[in-house]
């Protein structure tokens, strides 16, 4: 969380270098924690593929049909003046030169970070810990496949507002949590999350839709 906040402290180029450092550090931490988190095991299934691609289609399809998080907060009097950092597209070609080595280096790092590092991190926190903790403080005693309405909705909402595209984020959280409840394990949701982010990365780079990497 500190490194995420620090992305705005060192100017525009700093956003990219801090993201790189954050990705490497979190990747090492997750690798070190694997023996202690049995649930953090990827599982390829047709359900994971279907949900992963479905969430991507939904995320892109509803874009522009609702106000982003910054506009929404501003409308209710909670936003500041000026252009928020969250609205500045994450475009290495613009920052480091079209087709430059650094531009492609950071594109690859962003793709790897969002597809390999982010899915297990966020799924363990949101779909395993937070969902069960909101239902029961002794969260480890609650099975992953147990449905609880309030944690289901609240967890998805918290996850959604972690993103500029908050509505897509909420629907995404519902889809991934639903997959965990359906399969009774976390691995399918990790895989679905990875598929969504990887396909989105291809779309962002191939179609120049950099707004999704704000």
6 occurs within a structural domain: no
User: How high is the pLDDT of residue 71?
Assistant: 80
Give pLDDT tens digits for 181-207. 999 999 999 999 999 999 999 999 999
Tally of domains in the chain: 1
For residues 210 and 204, the answer to whether their CB atoms sit within 8 Å is yes
143 occurs within a structural domain: yes
pLDDT more than 90, % of the chain? 78
27 occurs within a structural domain: no
28 occurs within a structural domain: no
User: How high is the pLDDT of residue 24?
Assistant: 95
**Average confidence (pLDDT) over 144-155:** 97
Helix axes 101-112, 187-207, angle to 10 degrees: 160
112 occurs within a structural domain: yes
Residue 82 has pLDDT above 60, yes or no: no
Give pLDDT tens digits for 28-76. 999 999 999 999 999 999 999 999 999 999 999 999 999 888 788 777 7
Closest by CA position to 51, among listed 103, 119, 134: 119
| 196: Cβ contacts below 8 Å, ≥ 6 apart | 52, 53, 55, 56, 59, 172
53 occurs within a structural domain: yes
66 occurs within a structural domain: yes
Residue 80 has pLDDT above 90, yes or no: no
Structural domain including 206 reads: 41-213
Residue 27 burial class via C-beta count within 10 angstroms: exposed 0-12, middle 13-18, buried 19 and up: middle
111 occurs within a structural domain: yes
CA separation for the pair 169, 63 (Å, rounded): 11
**Average confidence (pLDDT) over 19-35:** 93
User: How high is the pLDDT of residue 149?
Assistant: 97
**Average confidence (pLDDT) over 71-91:** 68
User: How high is the pLDDT of residue 101?
Assistant: 96
């Amino acid at each position: 969380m500190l490194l995420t906040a620090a992305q705005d402290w060192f100017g525009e180029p700093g956003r990219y270098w801090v993201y790189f450092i954050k990705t490497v550090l979190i990747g090492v931490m997750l690798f070190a924690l694997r023996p202690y988190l049995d649930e953090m095991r990827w599982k390829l299934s047709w359900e994971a593929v279907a949900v992963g691609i479905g969430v991507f289609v939904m995320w892109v399809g509803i874009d522009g049909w609702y106000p982003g998080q910054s506009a929404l907060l501003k409308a209710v009097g909670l936003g500041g003046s000026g252009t928020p950092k969250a609205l500045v597209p994450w475009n290495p070609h613009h920052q480091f030169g079209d087709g430059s080595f650094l531009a492609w280096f950071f594109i690859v790092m962003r793709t790897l970070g969002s597809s390999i590092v982010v899915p297990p991190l966020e799924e363990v926190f949101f779909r395993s810990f937070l969902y069960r903790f909101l239902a029961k403080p002794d969260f480890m005693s609650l099975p992953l496949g147990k449905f609880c309405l309030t944690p289901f909705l609240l967890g998805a909402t918290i996850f959604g507002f972690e993103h500029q595209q908050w509505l897509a984020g909420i629907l995404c959280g519902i889809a991934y949590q639903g997959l965990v409840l359906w399969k009774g394990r976390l691995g399918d949701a990790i895989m679905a999350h990875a598929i969504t982010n990887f396909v989105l990365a291809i779309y962002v780079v191939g179609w120049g839709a950099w707004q999704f990497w704000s």
